[in-house]
Homo-oligomer: A and B are copies of this chain.
């Protein structure tokens, strides 16, 4: 039984069902699809449609008799009875359990984040953010067209958090505003359109080589992004963001990319979690005292070098594969001393915009600018699951690249229909 169809859950499911037909795996997720989170920022900046970064879990399981997919929200786990309760009041049994629920946006206790800022953990959030930004520009352009005073808030986008996601978002919005929204809305004065990237530390891309950190700041500033380092956010309001020094910026759009915490279910279950909600595990990624329960990916506090492993896809994938091996071994009766799980860092990368990305290899080599962007593009296309998504993404990217245009900027308001889904 695997809870969560992210990178870790899918990797574990694939590894468990590849070579043996003795194991039956059920993959539970509250959504009916895997979300390719590394590209959510493209949905939020109108480069891709939401459907391009989603892959149906049922499609993944199709043709694999050992694998069953189940859409449901886990509300509780009874570790003694080995059962999982779902939100629809049903329960399912398990022999071995892999917890791979991932993370949620962390507000670090900053007031207003939950009410006014946009997170970026699901396709629905990315879609809502895109519609919000475009509606803000539309509304302000219409106001200006009628001769109203300029208002800065609707056309100011503040991205909080200078990690890879924040850098990608800021770069994406700089391109969207300068290349698409300003030409589309000639009523708007370019001077009131601002993209601001806020980071608490003195550098972007913590953990990357200083050379790449400086490259990111330089590239973003050349694209028109205002980079504010050493700046703490004190409060997020409906139409402004206030910093620790008391200054503030008028903005209707605050994107919160400042961090994640582990899925709250772990803490609710009474598991041993750290400050960021991450579950304590042994060197086989097992929960202490629960030899048939594993935690992987963003949910688990996995030691690495002097601290914990980063919350990125490769850690989840490697963890899923490691746990799958252990389960297969234990079911085959093999119980030798397995090597402890060790995260193997294949390098990190972040894209900044058209023609620019930074890539750092484990041996310390760095690639930046256009060559870095080509590496980033190729690797992401290879990683994207399913030919159809890949082809559609490629068409959109090729179009964006050749024309500076962005396709997915229709604002499609959700229609509310009668809630028949509760029948089940």
Contact = CB atoms under 8 A, between A and B. Distances in A.
B388 A151 contact: no
Given A138-B71, A154-B424, A418-B115, A184 B58 contact: yes
A58 B405 CA distance: 12
B128 A414 contact: yes
A417 interface: yes
A238 interface: yes
A129 to B, nearest CB: 8
Number of copies: 2
Nearest to A407: B388
A421 B139 contact: yes
Interface stretch (A118-126, A170-178, A288-296): A118-126
A49 interface: yes
Interface string A400-420: 000101011111111111101
A123 B415 CA distance: 9
A135 B420 CA distance: 9
A234 to B, nearest CB: 19
Contacts of A183: 62-63
Contact of A388 (B51, B405, B418): B405
For the complex of A and B, the 10 pairs showing the least CB-CB separation, nearest first, are A139-B424, A54-B410, A414-B414, A58-B184, A33-B410, A49-B51, A388-B407, A128-B415, A124-B415, A49-B49
A184 B62 contact: yes
Given A124-B415, A139-B423, A145-B70, A410 B239 contact: no
B184 A417 contact: no
17 contacts: A31-B410, A32-B138, A50-B412, A56-B184, A59-B184, A72-B142, A88-B142, A128-B416, A128-B417, A135-B421, A139-B421, A154-B424, A239-B423, A252-B420, A386-B407, A388-B395, A388-B407
A136 B252 contact: no
Interface string A373-412: 0000000000000111101100110010001010111111
